[in-house]
Amino acid sequence: MTRVCTVRVGPLALAIAAEAVQEVAQGLEPVPVPLAPPVVAGLVNLRGHVVTALDLRAHLRGAADAPAGGPGVHVIVPLPEGPLSLVVDDVGDVLDVGPGDPPPDGLAPRLRALVDRVHDRDDAILLRLDPTRHARHARGRGAAPPPAGAPPAPTPAGAPP
Amino acid sequence: MLEPGADVGRGLPALDGILADFVAEARENLDRLDAELVGLELCPDDAEALRRVLRVAHSLKGTAGVLGFRQLEGLAHAGETLLCQVREGLRPFDERVATAVLTTADAVRALLDRIEVSGGEGDLRFGRVLENLEDLSREATAPDARALEGGAAAGATDQPPPPPAQPWAGPGAPAPSPARYAPAPSRHGEAAPQAADALTSGADGLPDADPSDRPHELRSVRLDVALLDRLMDDVGELVLARNRIAQLAAGADDAPLRVAVQRLGVVAGELQARVARARLRPVATLWRRLPRLVRDVALACGKEATVATEGGDVELDRRVLEAVADPLTHLVRNAIDHGLEPPAVRRASGKPAAGRIVVRARQGAGLVEVEVEDDGRGIDLDAIRRRALDRGLLPPQQARALGLREALELVFRPGFTTADAVSSVSGRGVGLDVVRAEVRRVGGDVQVETTPGGGTTFRLRIPLTLAIVPILLLRLGALELGIPQLAVLELLRLRPDHVQRAGDAPVLRHRGRLLPLVPLARLLEVAPGPGEAAGDGDDLRAPGPRPAGLDRGVVVVVAAGARSLGLVVDDVLEAEEVVIKPLPLLRLPVYAGATVRGDGRPALVLDPAGVARRAGVRDGELGAPAAQAAPGAGGDDDADRLLVLGLGGDERVAVALDHVARLEEVDPARVARAGEQAMVPLGGRVLPLLDLPGLLARRPALDAAAPRALTVVVHDDGRRAPVGLIVTTVEDVVAAVGAATGPGARPGVLCTKALADRLVEVLDVPGLIRHHAPGLAAAAAAAPGAPPALVGAGAP
pLDDT in tens, B620-630: 332 222 223 33
Q: At what angle do helices B70-87 and B146-155 cross, to 10 degrees?
A: 150
Cα separation, B328 vs B59, in Å, equals 12
Which residue ranges make up each domain of chain A? Answer: 2-138
Interface subset of B 437-496, CB within 8 angstroms of A: 479
A59 neighbourhood in chain B, CB within 8 Å: none
CATH number of A2-138: 2.40.50.180
Mark yes or no for CB contact A146/B603 under 8 Å. Answer: no
Query: In which element (H, E) is residue B48 found?
Result: helix B47-67
Nearest to A32 among B46, B124, B537 (CB): B537
Q: Compute CA B318 distance to the chain's CA centroid, rounded to the nearest angstrom.
A: 23
Asked whether the predicted pLDDT for residue B794 surpasses 70, the reply is: no
The residues, ordered by sequence, that sit 6+ positions from B743 with a Cβ below 8 Å of its Cβ are: B751, B752
Q: List the single best residue of A23, A39, A43, A141 to mutate versus B (max B Cβ within 10 A).
A: A43
Q: In terms of DSSP H, where are the helices of B673-712?
A: 692-697
Q: Rounded to the nearest 5°, which phi and psi values hold at B589?
A: -65, -15
pLDDT of the residue at B638: 35
Spatial contact of A43 and A33, defined as CB atoms under 8 Å apart: yes
pLDDT of the residue at B562: 54
Percent of chain B exceeding pLDDT 90 equals 5
Query: Is the Cβ of B41 closer than 8 Å to some Cβ of chain A?
Result: yes
Mark yes or no for CB contact A135/B124 under 8 Å. Answer: no
To the nearest whole Å, the CA of A128 is away from the closest chain B CA by: 22
Strand order in the sheet with A12-17: A90-97, A2-9, A12-17, A125-129, A115-120
Asked whether the predicted pLDDT for residue B419 surpasses 70, the reply is: no
Write the pLDDT tens digit of every residue in B667-705. 888 888 877 788 888 777 788 898 888 888 888 887 766
Distances (CA, A) of B673 to B140, B679, B705, B768: 56, 6, 17, 19
Mark yes or no for CB contact A34/B127 under 8 Å. Answer: no
Average pLDDT of the segment spanning B511-532: 73
What is the overall mean pLDDT for chain B?
A: 72
pLDDT of the residue at B501: 77
Cα separation, B389 vs B409, in Å, equals 15
Mark yes or no for CB contact B124/A160 under 8 Å. Answer: yes
pLDDT of the residue at B639: 44
Spatial contact of B373 and B450, defined as CB atoms under 8 Å apart: no
Q: How confident is the model at residue B493 (pLDDT cuts 50, 70, 90)?
A: confident
Cα separation, B154 vs B172, in Å, equals 17
Query: Is the Cβ of A77 closer than 8 Å to some Cβ of chain B?
Result: no
To the nearest whole Å, the CA of A102 is away from the closest chain B CA by: 23
The least confident of A122-126, B205-209, B345-349, B353-357 is: B205-209
Mark yes or no for CB contact A31/B535 under 8 Å. Answer: yes
Mark yes or no for CB contact A152/B586 under 8 Å. Answer: no
pLDDT of the residue at A71: 77
Q: How confident is the model at residue B13 (pLDDT cuts 50, 70, 90)?
A: very low
Q: At what angle do helices B95-118 and B13-42 cross, to 10 degrees?
A: 160
Residue of A nearest to B541 (CA): A34
Average pLDDT of the segment spanning B775-796: 44
A140 neighbourhood in chain B, CB within 8 Å: 38-39, 42-43, 46, 587
Residue B597, exposed/middle/buried by CB under 10 A (0-12, 13-18, 19+)?
middle
CA torsion sign for A161, B4, B6, B7 is: positive
Query: Is the Cβ of A45 closer than 8 Å to some Cβ of chain B?
Result: yes
Q: Which residue, among A10, A145, A129, has the nearest Cα to A75 in the 3D structure? A: A129
Mark yes or no for CB contact B128/A158 under 8 Å. Answer: yes
Q: How confident is the model at residue B483 (pLDDT cuts 50, 70, 90)?
A: very high
Cα separation, B490 vs A41, in Å, equals 33
Write the pLDDT tens digit of every residue in A1-59. 788 888 888 878 888 888 888 889 888 889 999 998 888 889 998 877 789 998 888 77
Residue of A nearest to B113 (CA): A159
Q: How confident is the model at residue B740 (pLDDT cuts 50, 70, 90)?
A: low
pLDDT of the residue at A103: 78
DSSP state of A89: S
Query: Is the Cβ of A70 closer than 8 Å to some Cβ of chain B?
Result: no
Mark yes or no for CB contact A158/B34 under 8 Å. Answer: no
Average pLDDT of the segment spanning B597-617: 80
Does domain B223-278 fall under CATH 2.60.120? My reply is no
The residues, ordered by sequence, that sit 6+ positions from A16 with a Cβ below 8 Å of its Cβ are: A4, A5, A7, A75, A77, A86, A128, A129, A131
How does strand A125-129 pair with strand B710-715?
Answer: unpaired
Highest mean pLDDT out of A72-76, B605-609, B641-645: A72-76
Residue of A nearest to B537 (CA): A32
pLDDT of the residue at A43: 93
pLDDT of the residue at B606: 92
Cα separation, B441 vs B426, in Å, equals 22
Average pLDDT of the segment spanning B570-588: 79
Nearest to B535 among A29, A38, A84 (CB): A29
Cα separation, B261 vs B705, in Å, equals 91
Q: How confident is the model at residue B427 (pLDDT cuts 50, 70, 90)?
A: very low
B604 neighbourhood in chain A, CB within 8 Å: 31, 33-34, 43
pLDDT of the residue at B482: 93
Q: Does A61 or B429 have the greater pLDDT score? A: A61
Highest mean pLDDT out of A132-136, B103-107, B258-262, B369-373: B369-373
A159 neighbourhood in chain B, CB within 8 Å: 107, 110, 124, 126
Mark yes or no for CB contact A156/B106 under 8 Å. Answer: yes
Q: List the single best residue of B30, B36, B42, B113 to mutate versus A (max A Cβ within 10 A).
A: B42
Cα separation, B113 vs A160, in Å, equals 13
Q: Does B578 or B724 have the greater pLDDT score? A: B724
Mark yes or no for CB contact B584/A156 under 8 Å. Answer: no
Per-residue 3-state assignment (H helix, E strand, C coil) for B618-635: HHHHHHCHHHHCCHHHHC
Query: What is the ipTM, given to two decimal places?
Result: 0.77
To the nearest whole Å, the CA of B106 is away from the closest chain A CA by: 5
Q: How confident is the model at residue B158 (pLDDT cuts 50, 70, 90)?
A: very low
Which residue ranges make up each domain of chain B? Answer: 13-155, 223-278, 282-463, 483-623, 631-794
Query: In which element (H, E) is residue B40 found?
Result: helix B13-42
Cα separation, B296 vs B646, in Å, equals 58
Write the pLDDT tens digit of every residue in A20-34. 888 898 888 899 999
Interface subset of A 92-151, CB within 8 angstroms of B: 135-136, 138-142, 146-147, 149-151
Mark yes or no for CB contact A34/B525 under 8 Å. Answer: yes
Cα separation, B764 vs B292, in Å, equals 52
Interface subset of B 557-596, CB within 8 angstroms of A: 581, 583-588, 590-591, 594-596
Q: How confident is the model at residue B604 (pLDDT cuts 50, 70, 90)?
A: very high
pLDDT of the residue at B347: 92
Spatial contact of B121 and B72, defined as CB atoms under 8 Å apart: yes
Q: How confident is the model at residue B738 (pLDDT cuts 50, 70, 90)?
A: low
Nearest to B99 among A66, A142, A152 (CB): A152
Number of other residues whose CB lies within 10 A of the CB of residue B504: 13
How does strand B685-691 pair with strand B723-727?
Answer: parallel
To the nearest whole Å, the CA of B401 is away from the closest chain A CA by: 41
Cα separation, B183 vs B308, in Å, equals 6
Q: Does B612 or B140 have the greater pLDDT score? A: B612
Nearest to B38 among A48, A141, A146 (CB): A146
The DSSP string of B485-515 is GGGEEEEEE--GGGEEEETTEEEEEETTEEE
Query: Is the Cβ of A50 closer than 8 Å to some Cβ of chain B?
Result: yes
Write the pLDDT tens digit of every residue in B277-316. 777 778 888 888 788 788 888 888 888 888 888 888 887 7
pLDDT of the residue at B739: 58
The DSSP string of B338-381 is IISPPHHHHHHTTS-SSEEEEEEEEE-SSEEEEEEEE-S----H
pLDDT of the residue at B585: 79
Residue of A nearest to B237 (CA): A47
Cα separation, A16 vs B357, in Å, equals 53
Q: How many residues does chain B have?
A: 796
To the nearest whole Å, the CA of A145 is away from the closest chain B CA by: 10
To the nearest whole Å, the CA of A34 is away from the closest chain B CA by: 6
Q: How confident is the model at residue B725 (pLDDT cuts 50, 70, 90)?
A: very high
Mark yes or no for CB contact B604/A44 under 8 Å. Answer: no
Under CATH, to which class is B483-623 assigned? mainly beta
Spatial contact of B79 and B57, defined as CB atoms under 8 Å apart: yes
pLDDT of the residue at B636: 36
Q: Does B309 or B274 have the greater pLDDT score? A: B309
Average pLDDT of the segment spanning B398-408: 69
How does strand A125-129 pair with strand A12-17?
Answer: parallel
Residue of B nearest to A140 (CA): B39
Spatial contact of B422 and B439, defined as CB atoms under 8 Å apart: no
Does domain B13-155 fall under CATH 3.30.565.10? My reply is no
Mark yes or no for CB contact B233/A49 under 8 Å. Answer: yes
pLDDT of the residue at B365: 55
Under CATH, to which class is B631-794 assigned? mainly beta
Q: Does B348 or B552 have the greater pLDDT score? A: B348
Mark yes or no for CB contact A151/B38 under 8 Å. Answer: yes
Percent of chain A exceeding pLDDT 70 equals 73
Asked whether the predicted pLDDT for residue A131 surpasses 90, the reply is: no
Mark yes or no for CB contact A43/B541 under 8 Å. Answer: no
The C-alpha R_g of chain A, in whole angstroms, comes to: 16
Write the pLDDT tens digit of every residue in B707-724. 678 888 888 877 778 889
Spatial contact of B769 and B776, defined as CB atoms under 8 Å apart: yes
Q: Which residue, among B480, B500, B475, B479, has the nearest Cα to B569 in the 3D structure? A: B475
Cα separation, A129 vs A16, in Å, equals 5
The least confident of B288-292, B612-616, B710-714, B740-744 is: B740-744
Domain B282-463 fold: Heat Shock Protein 90 (3.30.565)
